[in-house]
Amino acid sequence: MTGDDPEAFRARREALKARIDPLDKDMIDGGDRGAFFDTVYDMAGGDAAGVPWADLKPKQQLEQWLASNPGNGRTAIDIACGLGDNAEAMAAAGYRTTAFDLAEKAVSWARQRFPGSAVDYQVADLLNPPAGWNGRFDLVHECYTLQAVPPLMLQGMTAAIADLVAPGGTLLVYTRIRPDGSETSGPPWPLQERDAMGFASHGLQLVSRNAFELLRPDRKIPHWFCVWQKPEIG
């Protein structure tokens, strides 16, 4: 947490991003995405300005959805939770929430930011989740993980996310989006629309799709926030 004014925070973020970007490209070429995330969290040295995706607040679309869908003690999981803000919102809405990230530093940082949190923060790999997680969660939340991995990994990640959802459960997906067939020079790699719809081939049904743009001084960034449902068994 920084506690300083937004302008100073933004300036530090720009400076730190300039150090991260070349590293990002190198590690893609080297093929080790996990090492990249570890390095970003390490290099930030406790300053969230150094973590380009850290908003230090929950995503607005998630908060709005939670306001009309409280947990009432049901189970939830936040995939690749980063610094924990989305997971905290899920717990505050009454979900018994687990949150995990591959990067140990992210998990320890989240725990430190929210002492006494009701969230069960864990270090885990989406592609090799702990025994007992598959099919267990009434609510699964994915934000910016799919777009953060090379497109070759997309199918496996999509399947692993779908597997976590309990029968009758809900999956929320927040992602940058781009038209099918368009080029991208990630990272991040905004999902093609057909890839974002990939959960349908894992038996999930689309409940709603909110297309919106995040406005930046120099551009607009298209996003989707999708709500999916896994049918009950039988």
Q: Contact with ligand SAM (CB under 6 A): which of 61, 145, 170, 175? A: 145
Q: Does 143 bind ligand SAM (CB under 6 A)?
A: yes
**CA-wise closest residue to 100 among 116, 117, 119, 113:** 119
Give the three-state DSSP class for 205.
strand
Any idea which residue has 């018994």 for tokens? 96
Binding window for ligand SAM (CB under 6 A); candidates: 69-77, 95-103, 175-183, 221-229? 95-103
Q: Which residues pair with 211 in a beta bridge?
A: 224
Distance in angstroms (rounded) separating the CA atoms of residues 118 and 121: 9
Q: Which residues pair with 141 in a beta bridge?
A: 78, 172
Give residues with Cβ within 8 angstroms of 30, minimum separation 6.
none
Burial class (CB in 10 A: 0-12, 13-18, 19+), 46: exposed
Q: Contact with ligand SAM (CB under 6 A): which of 90, 126, 164, 227? A: 126
Q: Does 16 bind ligand SAM (CB under 6 A)?
A: no
- Give the residue with the Cβ less far from ligand SAM, 168 or 199: 199
- Give the residue with the Cβ less far from ligand SAM, 49 or 103: 103
- Give the residue with the Cβ less far from ligand SAM, 145 or 192: 145
Q: Are 120 and 99 in contact (CB under 8 A)?
A: yes
Give the three-state DSSP class for 207.
strand
- Give the residue with the Cβ less far from ligand SAM, 127 or 200: 127
Binding window for ligand SAM (CB under 6 A); candidates: 62-70, 90-98, 112-120, 137-145? 137-145
Helix (H) / strand (E) element for 215: namely: strand 205-216
Distance in angstroms (rounded) separating the CA atoms of residues 33 and 80: 13
Q: Does 77 bind ligand SAM (CB under 6 A)?
A: no
Q: Does 212 bind ligand SAM (CB under 6 A)?
A: no
Min dist CB 187 to ligand SAM, Å, is 8
- Region of 229 on the Ramachandran plot (φ > 0 left; ψ -120 to 50 alpha; else beta): beta
> What value, to the nearest 5°, has the Cα angle with vertex 81 and ends 150 and 156?
35
Q: Does 80 bind ligand SAM (CB under 6 A)?
A: yes
Binding window for ligand SAM (CB under 6 A); candidates: 89-97, 124-132, 177-185, 211-219? 124-132
Q: Contact with ligand SAM (CB under 6 A): which of 127, 200, 211, 214? A: 127
Min dist CB 206 to ligand SAM, Å, is 21
Binding window for ligand SAM (CB under 6 A); candidates: 3-11, 141-149, 198-206, 210-218? 141-149
Binding stretches for ligand SAM (CB under 6 A) = 37, 53-54, 80-82, 101-103, 106, 125-127, 143-145, 148-149
